[in-house]
Amino acid sequence: MEETIKKRVEEGLMLPLMEEFYTIQGEGYHKGTAAYFVRIGGCDVGCHWCDVKESWNPDIHPPTDVDAIVKNATQYSKTIVVTGGEPLTWDMGPLTSKLKAEGMVVHIETSGAYSLSGTWDWICLSPKKTKLPKEEIYAKAHELKMIVYNRDDLRFAEEQAVKVSEDCFLYLQPEWSKRDKVMPMIVDYVMANPKWKVSLQTHKYLNIP
């Protein structure tokens, strides 16, 4: 990578952009909300069930100036969701400051595996066993989204839930490929432990991005 571009990426002035699209938020607290998604490439958390493994290698996604990302995003919706990959691999300060200057409401979906950067209106924290969140992010998370692939993930969910604030919304979401198997288990668990809510990937049922 050209040194000038590399430096701008390191400073968060350019980001490896995988894709951007306008759609309906399908998961968690804001499901059903129209939002513009910005998917940033780069992730080394390594979830074996990840459904966007093509996002892992940042080198295959073009470094894109954050001004261009902001220009595109502000044409569609007030709500911007930054996701990945793992967006906190990069400095999110420049992108979020420019989005906020345009009056956008800015969300992030993150594993929390890297230090929190940027200014966020909503933080959806989705911890992974392979690379645990930084301690600093737990208190700032608005939503805890735990992906359930097997029964042990319920134990892990409880382990993570004690670290977030009392105001944080707690969600259990079936891993898509195992949904038929784990959904009855999740339903029973939420009924027995009503502090949790069920999250579904409704966009997949609706066949939208």
pLDDT in tens, the chain (209 residues): 688 898 999 899 999 999 999 999 999 999 999 999 999 999 988 887 787 888 899 889 999 999 999 999 999 989 999 999 999 999 999 999 999 999 999 999 999 999 999 999 999 999 999 999 999 999 999 999 999 999 999 999 999 999 999 999 999 999 988 889 999 999 999 999 999 999 988 777 667 77
User: 125 and 110 in contact (C-beta within 8 Å)?
Assistant: yes
Domain 3-143+164-169 is in which class?
Answer: alpha beta
The ranges assigned to domains in the chain are 3-143+164-169
Name residues whose C-beta falls within 8 Å of residue 145's C-beta, 6 or more positions apart in sequence: 27, 28, 109, 124, 125, 126, 171, 173, 199
